[in-house]
Structure 1
Amino acid sequence: MEIVMFTRGVKLVDFYCSDHGKAISNADLYQDIEKTVLPTLSDESRKLYQKLLLDNPERSRHVTHDIAYIASITDRSERLKLYEESIRGLMVDAVAGLFKQAGVGPDNIDFIVVTSSVGKTMPSAASIIASEFGFASKTVTLNLGDMACSSGLAAVDAGVRFLRSERAPKRCLVVALEAVTNLFNQSEYGVVPNVVFGEGAAAILLSTHREPAKYAIKESVRTIAAHKEAYEVIRFTENEKGPSIRLSRELPQVAAGAIKDNLQQFVPRVVSPWDKLRFLVTKKIPDWQNRLEYWALHPGGTAVLNGLARNLKLAQGNLAFSFRVFDQRSNMSSPSIFYVLREIEMHGPKKRDRVLMMSFGSGFKVNTMLMKRLSSARPERSVVIELKAMNGQLHCHTRQQSSGSETATDNLFQADLATLDPKVIANDVWKRTLGVNQFRICPSVSRDLSSERYRSLVQELRGLLMPKGSLTEL
């Protein structure tokens, strides 16, 4: 375990998440797999594909090439060519987007750190970036790999270490990318990875110059659970059908233990002196969650996020940004955490708000990083839910707000008041919104429900509120 306290004013100036490629829903992916893969699999694997994809047919991911096309390529050398083509497109889009957004170029960069875990190229991915954009020969490059979902923050940490080692102000470009279609495997071992993962790339600009920036990087804690069970839970494997990622059934248990160990090192750095003293005496982690405004946790999957919410004693709404990324993009491994940060930016964090970022992956490694917002961001969108009772029915309407303007009201759903179950109502709202900024409850709801069921409904709905959300009883 190693703890780093950043004292030289390293800042995250800006970042950009690529939308290169095309979105493909679970339903569309199932159609492709039904044509190309299912006929060769056992009944058990076919049923698993059906369950994982069709129970939530609208969940999506981005891919740079059609799955049917990828499935048709069995030659390993052709697959490698396709992989290099994919990562080149992702990286160029991410870096070009960052340069345009931040107003910098190759001449302003001193270090390049690139991380990717699902394929290999020679020259490295960092060399591809250097040659595509014409970086100076003095630019120092570092290519990381094989740390899977934990490596996005590990790459940022490496960039910070580069910058802190220099006497003069410098800038570092960090790129996290994964082209997971390189791992598309047509055997039974490929079922879960083929469903869970998607593609993406993020470019991040770090700096010690005196210049405007989005975040100050305050703390970083990196830990590894160095025992055999933890080592085995995520493995890269290869068979006659190609490479794949194998996920063990023990993964949730190992991840929970590793995250707990990491937080025992991290939490004392974000709590009050009194909490620190109590922790030293009792070794009991204090109630520290309310000290943080935002949570950016790796969107490893719905079950993973639900488990994190339970273990960290957080409401679902606190992790809405991570749930949304998994729903829209699936698990992109290393860059995923920055797509979560993009969702937080759309929410409009205020100056001095703190964001806890956490990623975890093979090894078993856990990385946490604390960042503080240096200026306020303008909210880009919000979800407002209005509930009213009428003619024996609970009417649930949604109002989408974008850049300060409120759009027309949409009818989300209706429910019979006589048989209303607060947990079912909350679950229906969550499935349709994945987080709510504001609830407005009309007086008719408290009038037509028993006091016990009304209190239960309010309690359930509060758990869906995103950070700084509100529930107003009109």
Structure 2
Amino acid sequence: MNQTMHKASPISLTMSELTTLLSSSGFIFEIFISLLVLHLIYQRLRRRVKVYLLDFTCYRAPDSNRLPMSTLLETIYLANQIDQESIDFQARILERSWLSNQTSIPPSLTEIPLKKSLTSVQTETMTTIFTSVDDLLKKNKISPRSIDILITNCSLHAPTPSLSAMVINKFHMRSNIKSFNLSGMGCAAGILSVSLANDLVKVHRGSLALIVSTEALNTHWYIGKDRSMLLTNCLFRMGAAAVLMSSNDQDRGNAKYELLHVVRTNKAKDDRAYQCIYQDTDSELKQGVSITKDVISVAGDVLKMNLSTLGPLVLPYLELLQYVICKIYKPSSTYTPNFKKAFEHFCIHTGGRAVIQAMEMNLNLKKEDIEPSKMTLHRFGNTSSSSVWYALSYLEAKRRVKRGDKVLQIAFGSGFKCNSAVWRCIREVEPDTDNKWLDFIESYPVDVPDSISIRPC
């Protein structure tokens, strides 16, 4: 049987067919380029936005605002508004507070009679906020109009217009600036502001955020007899901090730190936690902030909740494995992971001697680990939401922060809240002339006795 073999004919294209093919190829090429561009955009979008801490500065009151403990007790005595028993109680608290005679309060609180007024508290907040912001912007040669996001936080003073509006007015910032004012958020509001700024600069890429943290003492200085409210007079002092954060990659070369994690824990749903720090009036209708005896145990509970979230993010795998094994085979064990394997430095909120000691015990820290916070409490007192920045400033003044080091900032506040922030140092940090510790840092650390004697009035 004969089979006919057919060979394929060579391809021949007419001019019109060639033109059609080239046209379709161009269309395919355009599709390819479009897909490539979309892929590049997607890769850029999915890339983690890095957030940097460019710089920060802390407020240091003039020496004329200094409040020796004996002066405080004398002022209270001469004001003749509370009984001797309440004065003696404050003296005992001050003797064991770790505060020095260098801490400061607004001048209005040392006047007799005590001057508590809206004018006085406005002067106080304008002094701390404006000085901090002005120092920070001048030091970094940044125009106020370069600020894209402004966040202010002050728990006990919420005027109208707000503190953020006050800053915008003073420094003539842009009309389209994104401004936020946080009030009533307690001493943890400084890190809460960092969390808010972190979210905002990630959404608005390449933006520059300014955070201002302070507390107002004047209108909420307590002059009654309730001991839980008298504690605030013994611990809180004048202070503020201004912080610059950016998500612009071009700022990395000038930045000090990169933000790695922020963890926020809020236990306000629990009545005991909600009421342990509470603004109220006493039996004589005098206003104050009550700090109950539950605050330390509540702080310990919320700290554990916060660290249970933070731990898996920062602890080495072997340390996590050891912790898990311990919990499986010894459920009743109180084993605490070694957070010193995750961090080189700790900046603990200077809520008071009891708070710092509780953190030392709960985290198994050494004396050198709590030194920045202990010295901050001794020199500046409890400056509320800005205290963690004073502690970090201490570390910088001591030249202890090296490139690659990780810093944990952790603060507690009413609500009850525990907030933590993790920073990684990305360049060698040398103290500058604006560091408020610098002119006396050589005398620190100092020996802080557990108790001192104050001559009674």
TM-score by length of structure 2 reads 0.78
Within-5 A mapping of 1:64-103: 64-69=106-111, 71-73=113-115, 79-103=117-141
Shift of 1:282: 4.5
Asked if the contact 2:346/2:407 (under 8 Å) is kept, the reply is yes
What residue in structure 2 maps to residue 351 of structure 1?
A: 403
Deviations 1:133-165 (A, max 9, x none): 000101010011111111000011101111011
Unaligned runs of at least 5 residues, structure 2: 1-46, 328-334, 451-457
| Counterpart Cα distance in 1 of 2:112 and 2:142 | 36
Does residue 178 of the first structure (1) align with residue 215 of the second (2)? yes
Aligned to 1:373, which of 410, 425, 428? Answer: 425
Aligned to 1:238, which of 273, 281, 299? Answer: 281
Aligned to 2:448, which of 422, 427, 431? Answer: 431
User: Relative to structure 1, is the Cα distance of residues 86 and 242 closer, same or farther in structure 2, using a 3 angstrom cutoff?
Assistant: farther
| Counterpart Cα distance in 2 of 1:232 and 1:343 | 33
Asked if the contact 2:52/2:259 (under 8 Å) is kept, the reply is yes
Letter in 2 for 1:61: T
Letter in 2 for 1:293: E
User: Relative to structure 1, is the Cα distance of residues 234 and 57 closer, same or farther in structure 2, using a 3 angstrom cutoff?
Assistant: closer
Shift of 1:58: 3.5
3-state SS of 1:204 partner: strand
Asked if the contact 1:9/1:217 (under 8 Å) is kept, the reply is yes
Q: Write 1 or 2 for the structure with the bigger share of strand.
A: 1
Following TM superposition, the consecutive aligned residue runs of length 4 or more in structure 1 with deviations greater than 6 angstroms are none
Shift of 1:242: 4.4
User: Relative to structure 1, is the Cα distance of residues 91 and 367 closer, same or farther in structure 2, using a 3 angstrom cutoff?
Assistant: same
Does residue 45 of the first structure (1) align with residue 89 of the second (2)? no
Aligned to 1:274, which of 318, 337, 342? Answer: 318
| Counterpart Cα distance in 1 of 2:77 and 2:94 | 11
Within-5 A mapping of 1:11-30: 11-21=52-62, 22-30=65-73
| Counterpart Cα distance in 1 of 2:277 and 2:206 | 39
User: Relative to structure 1, is the Cα distance of residues 351 and 131 closer, same or farther in structure 2, using a 3 angstrom cutoff?
Assistant: same
Shift of 1:43: 4.1
Does residue 204 of the first structure (1) align with residue 221 of the second (2)? no
Aligned to 1:363, which of 410, 415, 423? Answer: 415
Letter in 1 for 2:168: A
3-state SS of 2:111 partner: helix
Identical residues among aligned pairs (%): 24
Deviations 1:153-190 (A, max 9, x none): 00111011110112x31100000011223211210134
What residue in structure 2 maps to residue 318 of structure 1?
A: 369
Aligned to 1:221, which of 253, 263, 287? Answer: 263
Asked if the contact 2:276/2:291 (under 8 Å) is kept, the reply is yes
Structure having the higher Rg: 2
Asked if the contact 2:99/2:378 (under 8 Å) is kept, the reply is no
What residue in structure 1 maps to residue 453 of structure 2?
A: none
| Counterpart Cα distance in 1 of 2:406 and 2:124 | 35
Asked if the contact 1:17/1:203 (under 8 Å) is kept, the reply is yes
Shift of 1:278: 4.2
3-state SS of 1:265 partner: helix
Shift of 1:261: 1.1
What residue in structure 1 maps to residue 187 of structure 2?
A: 149
Asked if the contact 2:66/2:101 (under 8 Å) is kept, the reply is no
User: Relative to structure 1, is the Cα distance of residues 144 and 150 closer, same or farther in structure 2, using a 3 angstrom cutoff?
Assistant: same
| Counterpart Cα distance in 2 of 1:430 and 1:10 | 38
Letter in 1 for 2:270: H
Asked if the contact 2:132/2:242 (under 8 Å) is kept, the reply is yes
| Counterpart Cα distance in 2 of 1:336 and 1:63 | 15
| Counterpart Cα distance in 1 of 2:239 and 2:188 | 15
Shift of 1:380: 8.5
